[in-house]
A and B are shown apart, each in its own frame.
Chain A
Amino acid sequence: MMHNPEFAIRAAGLRKCFGSITAVDDLNLDVTPGEIFGLVGPDGAGKTTTMRMLCGILHPDAGSAEVAGFDVRRDPEAVKRRIGYMPQRFSLYGDLTVAENLFFFANIYQVPREERLRKEAEVLAFSRLAPFRTRQAQYLSGGMKQKLALACTLIHTPSVLFLDEPTTGVDPVSRRDFWRILYDLVKAGVTIFVSTPYMDEAERCNRIALVNRGRVAICDTPEGLKARMRGEMWEVVADSARQAKMALASVPAVRGTQVFGDRLHVMIEGDGEAAIHMALQRAGVTAAGVRRIAPGLEDVFISLFSEQSDE
């Protein structure tokens, strides 16, 4: 039976409580086939819980979800056969070698022999793990472990891939490698659902959902999200970014400030430049430069969530 669903993932009103804590609360999502969808939010926002419910390994307390055309509550096993899930924690067998892990999962998913050999060669090639075939997984570096985990989740050619913070604790080079692989997969028609706390990674997604306290705060393309920001983003380079921050905190038009080393990002409404210069002068802070910048996702994120917590 071929399923050609309109959505790769569709969640409506998902809720999950652990005791008195509501981890996911009325969460709604639509992910179209073939896109990279990012679930972005701080730790404890409910990203992992959401992902586990979508994978059919955690029962939602309320709401419904469909993944790859199957209902995760009614038919979780059908969902499991069509997805790949890479948990946040390394969950392969450390005492099995790279090749043995691939062999094991290929057979658990009943991949036919010829296809298995072809896929093994393929995933070993793109993950550049071929030289380490006979090494036990526990002796791989962090980046290689993640690539092996990805390789194992791809061995049965899933149509939807769930990646829970796949690059946390991975060096920048391996991260770039990792994303290169993801783009290749999307080209091959795989839908990727990835959670991340990193903004630079979020910017690589086609669409992102910002989650906070178990709810989707906003869902849009990275560009769309940035365009939603009220006001302008200014960067102030000062000897003491902290002093500058304090000087600007009292200005009514300033909606938020964020220190990045010796620089300060200021979000401001109205005539930003004049207000910033005035405030710095009054406080006696010398600024080496004040310039308008395009807001990054991080700025959007912080401004959105600080607005929410103000409410």
Chain B
Amino acid sequence: MLQRIIMIIWKEFVQISRDPRMLGVVIVLPIFMLLLYGYAINLDVKHVRLAVYDQDGSQASRELVGAFTRSQYFDMAVQAWDERAVTQALDAGKARVALIIPATYSADLARGRRATVQVLVDGSDSTTASTAIGYLAGIVQSQNLQVSLQTLERAGQPVEHRARFWYNPELRSTNFIIPGLIAVILMMLAALLTSVTVVRERERGTIESLVVSPVMPFELMLGKLIPYVIIAFFDVLLVLTVGVFVFHIPFVGSVLLVLALSTLFVAAALGIGLLVSTVAPNQQVAMLTAVMATQLPTVLLSGFIFPISSMPHAIQLFTNIIPAAHFIRILRGIVLKGNGLAELWAPSLFLLVLGMVMLAASSARFKKTL
């Protein structure tokens, strides 16, 4: 049995090495996709055009405005002198966010009262709007804290209180996007790689030599899976390297654990491709099916961009069968938080079981008859 599995592996490697298109798919495609999507998908909101109507005109109000414009997130675009100018700036799109500081601002602060500022946000691009609100809140809060801190010190109660974001302190969206992107790319690539392996034997007629030989379906499937696991492992190294050195994602956790669990993930994805290959009538349909079956669910339901926690409950349950959802949990967990197997055993086990189920299903699907 081992001898036959080894022979199938050897044969696949010889065939792959003689197919130059394969090298393109294995090396160029993942790097190209990672660079393209990595740069294109950027959820960071910077240089939001800001309109300011400062009714107070005091030192305190100028400090608040300065806090906004000093950050790279907001650019002073419109200095308004009445409310109508603010409305116009928002309507015309000259500003996306307007800050209105009431005339009582500095007086309220001086009396230790709650100072209120009004913020108007153009909600037509909701993603930008919600991110901008996040920054606003942060800036306003830090202003408040500074003010209240001064007050407290005078009363002899030095309290330091600071909100910190763990795991991704700068809230850089690339840190969040790239691990997800790596999962999407590996998923699609792996399924694509194996999707043609069996159907190609059928198209070229070599299947007749195989089914009449003593090779058993399980031996054939495992022999076809292993070479691609090795190749996909190489792709794992490739995309992780690009992620770290080009997109500067921090790498907090264990590299070995990432590699080991990535292998589980690509093996499961390769298994899906293999199953497609035993069912598909020809290579074109096989490739199309592999891409459709993996890319769309992976992009939409894996938590790659759209957080699973904000999906309807039924769909949240459904995401449990999306391998990339588990892998993204693993990858973000290890890379950003430094998680170990203790936290990640459940998604890891899922990937292992899925891979084995796919291998078993492919072997069962492959009949030794024509």
Contacts and interface: CB of A to CB of B under 8 A. Distances in A.
Interface of A: 52, 55-59, 76-77, 80-81, 83, 85, 87, 89-96, 100, 104-105, 107-110, 136, 152
Contact of B11 (A87, A90, A94, A104): A104
Contacts of B4: 107-108, 110
Nearest to A77: B214
Contacts of A55: 212
Interface in B195-217: 204-209, 211-215
B368 A107 contact: no
A58 B370 contact: yes
A59 B206 CA distance: 19
14 contacts: A52-B370, A58-B369, A59-B369, A80-B214, A83-B212, A85-B212, A87-B205, A87-B208, A87-B209, A95-B18, A95-B19, A104-B10, A105-B213, A136-B18
Contacts, number: 71
B7 A80 contact: no
Interface centre among B18, B208, B370 (most CB of A within 10 A): B208
Contacts of A110: 3-4, 214
Q: Is the interface of B mostly helix, strand, loop or mixed?
A: helix
Contacts of B213: 80, 105, 108-109
B127 interface: no
B205 to A, nearest CB: 4
Interface of B: 3-4, 6-7, 10-11, 14-15, 18-19, 204-209, 211-215, 368-370
Contacts of B11: 93, 96, 100, 104
B370 to A, nearest CB: 5
A56 B207 CA distance: 14
A107 B370 contact: no
Given A55-B212, A108-B4, 6 more contacts: A58-B369, A77-B214, A80-B214, A92-B206, A96-B15, A108-B214
Contacts of A57: 208, 211-212, 368-370
A166 B10 CA distance: 29
B212 A56 contact: yes
A94 B215 contact: no
A90 B208 CA distance: 9
B3 A90 contact: no
A109 B215 CA distance: 8
Q: Which of B10, B204, B207, B368 has the most CB of A within 10 A?
A: B204
B7 A107 contact: yes
Contacts of A152: 209
